[in-house]
Amino acid sequence: MIAVVILAISLVGFLQFFVFYCRSIIAATADQPLPKDVQDVTGIVRTASPEEFSRVIQLLNLCPDRPEERGQLRAVSAYYKFLGLIRSTVAMVIPSLKSWTDHERGQCTYYAAVALGRRIAFSRDLLAQQMLP
């Protein structure tokens, strides 16, 4: 019985901390403007559509990887999938959750677009280094 209570509290705690943690990662990029080339490629200017996430991730995968943001991207991708799960299950019962999950998924897309901007800049730096005599 005690193990069941501990399990329930731990799972609730995990979900809460996971959501807060992912939001703290996303919040760091929410105010950053997107570079012009990222705006042109993705079509995102200020707010991102929740459905664009996988397309932005595909674009990210075309650029050379930056190991330092790999963990954060995985956390945000997991958060995006978790939100998708909430949207297709719990949000059916509680409709107000639908708009919240859409907003959050849009924020995840914006985070991925900011990461794309960093990767493009990183690729340009790499190219510039290789061009040096």
Partner 1 sequence: MTACAVSDLFRFRILFHYGYSSKEYFYFYYYSDALLTIVLYLALISLFVHVFKEMNADKYLIFGASFLLFATALFSYLVVAQSKVLHLSSFAVELSQNLYFVGLVLTFVLWGAILKLRETRARLVQIVLSLGIYFSLFAANYAVCNLYSSSTWLSAALSQLFGCLLPLAWAYAFWRTPEESRLVPARLAVSHR
Give the footprint of partner 1 on this chain (CB under 8 A). Answer: 3-4, 6-7, 9-11, 13-14, 16-21, 23-25, 27-28, 68-69, 71-72, 96-97, 99-100
Nearer to partner 1, 36 or 70 (CB): 70
Tokens of 74: 């995985």
Question: Shortest approach of partner 1 to residue 59 CB, angstroms?
Answer: 22
Side-chain-side CA neighbours of residue 102 (13 Å): 8
Nearer to partner 1, 16 or 47 (CB): 16
CB 78 within 8 A of CB 25: no
Burial class of residue 79, CB neighbours in 10 A (0-12, 13-18, 19+): buried
Of 43, 34, 25, 35, give the one whose Cα is nearest residue 80: 25
Nearer to partner 1, 13 or 43 (CB): 13
Nearer to partner 1, 55 or 100 (CB): 100
